[in-house]
Amino acid sequence: MTRKATCCCGLCSIEVEGEPMINAICHCGNCKKRTGSAFGWSLYFPDAQVGKRTGDLKAYSIDGAKRQERWFCAACGTTLFWKVARIPNQTGIAGGCFGETPLAAPVATVFNDGRCRWLRLPEEWRTSL
């Protein structure tokens, strides 16, 4: 199955084949700031499954111990996908950007020390990857 993730304005997209290797909710400060929300929904696909990228994508780099590079739409600012040094050979994609192609529910929750106290998640979710 080919899935397409798009930004808010629809000018940028990324396509992937198959199922993600990781489908998780992350509560780290980095993901919370990236999304402007209480958590980030991240799907990681092996680079071999990542296909066509379209639109005017700009990159933002974070150096140091949490080294990563994020690509976002130059028009609307939506962070669409990223590469993280600690997860080599995989591309992370924002789960909410897959608007028209259904995804399975996340199966894990990570960096739970940063979870908002009011947020309740299914007990069966793994708490580490």
The predicted-structure confidence for 47-85, as pLDDT tens digits, reads as follows: 999 999 999 999 999 887 678 999 999 999 999 999 998
Percent of the chain with pLDDT over 70: 98
For the entire predicted model, the pTM comes to 0.90
pLDDT on residue 64: 73
**Residue boundaries of the structural domains of the chain:** 2-114
Backbone angles phi, psi at 41, to 5 degrees: -100, 115
pLDDT on residue 129: 62
For residues 81 and 60, what is the distance between their CA atoms, to the nearest angstrom? 11
10 Å Cβ neighbour count for 119? 12
Q: Decide: helix, strand or coil at residue 34.
A: helix
Q: CATH for 2-114?
A: 2.170.150.70
Mean of the pLDDT values across residues 3-12?
Answer: 96
